[in-house]
Every structure is written in structure tokens, then in C-alpha cells.
Amino acid sequence: MEDNKQTVIRLNGISYRYPQGESLKFADIEVARGQHTLILGDSGSGKTTLLHILSGLLKPETGTVQIDGQLLYDLPARKLDEFRGQRIGLIFQEAHLVKSLTIKENLQIAQGFAGAKVNHQRIEEVLALLNLEHKGDSYPGKLSRGQMQRAAIARAVINRPAILVADEPTASLDDRNTESVLNLLRTQAEQQGATLIIATHDKRVKTQITRAYYVGR
């Protein structure tokens, strides 16, 4: 693993071909630690594809993906899963929490995916940071939309990732809730020492984070 304390994300020569034959090429990108960055582009431009590639979820046809000094796709599948669990926090439009488990149990699963032992103290700490300490034993179906968003962020930050990756986190939110979610993401990224990467076509997000990488066909 390369010892690189400054650069947390480096993508070089990335291309991806969809099963139906359409292909995308992405400009190289390098992100320094703490350099929060937007991935911008129209709907269908490939933002989510790029996000999945840099998160270790979708192997590119060509190119290299380096996260925190590690070449992602050099890792065997199980090691890649563990590395993702340890170093990459994922936040989607929908929370995707396991509905049959409590919020604490969902966070325990996230710790397990990273190959770590369950750390109850860390779970309590994260729930408190996100004002969810009273909801740890609740099931996802009992949470409000805002609480679900915070629970999803709690799961993403539980293992102190190097990067926090959010895909269209404000797509269905009004202006007030958009500002609230963005402030929450930035605060959590800074408290956890993570670098925030947000894919969006929401122009309101640009008022919060100015550094941008543009995806286009």
C-alpha cells in the first residue's frame, strides 16, 4: 500500500462500458484529504456510475482507483469488501437499513462488514452525535424521514471512514431540509476526519461546497 498522507482519492484513466454497450470515459481526479468535492452533471451523465466505481462497487473497464493509498481493484473480493467497510462510508437517497433489525443492530452489522468487533461504546457515541441516542433500540419503520437520514449517516461514519460518499442526498428535499442535511454531512465528515464526496445535480448544493468535478457525456 502506498503511503500517501495527502491524497485520499486518485482515479486515472477510468472508463466503463454498460452491458448494453454504451461506454463512458471519466477525466482523472485527485482529491486531497479534507477537500470536500461535488460530482456534478445532468441526470444520466454517469455520476452514480462514477460514485460506484470509486466506492469499490463497480469495476471499471480500464483505469485505476486509489483510495487512501490502496489500489481498490487489486484487492480480492473479500478484502475489497472489508476495505470498503473500513474506509468508505456510503449514503444513498434511501437509507437501505435492515428493517427487521434495530438501529443499533444495523450499526453492529456495519462494524462486522469492516471485519471489526462490535464496539458498543462507538455505537453509543455516534448515536449521540446524531441525536439518535433515544432511538438505538427502535426499528427503522418507527423512525421519521429525518431520523432515517441521520441513521443512514450514523451507519456511514461508524467505522471512521476516509471518505464519505453521498449519492443525490438532497434530491427529494425542500430548501430547509436540504440545508440541514448538507450541514449534517459536513459536520460529521469534519468530526470523523473524513473527506466528503457528493454526487448531485442539485444546484443548491453548490452554495455549500465549491470544489466540483464535472461528469458529462
> Where exactly are the structural domains of the chain?
7-214
For the chain, which ranges sit under pLDDT 50? Answer: 1-4
Tally Cβ neighbours within 10 Å of residue 60: 23
Q: What is the pLDDT of residue 10?
A: 96
Q: Which pLDDT does position 178 carry in this prediction?
A: 80
For domain 7-214, the question of CATH label 3.60.15.10 is answered with: no
- Cell numbers found for residue 129: 452525535
Distance, in Å, from the CA atom of 84 to the CA atom of 215, rounded to the nearest integer, reads: 23
Q: Pull the grid cell for residue 77.
A: 473480493
Report pLDDT for 154.
Answer: 92
CA gyration radius, the chain: 17
* pLDDT at residue number 55: 94
For residue 5, the model assigns a pLDDT of 53
C-alpha cell at 29: 481526479
**pTM across the whole model:** 0.86
CA distance linking residue 47 with residue 50, whole number of Å: 5
CB 186 within 8 A of CB 25: no
DSSP type of residue 52:
H
- Report yes or no: 53 and 132 within 8 Å, Cβ to Cβ: no
Considering the chain, what is the average pLDDT of its residues? 89
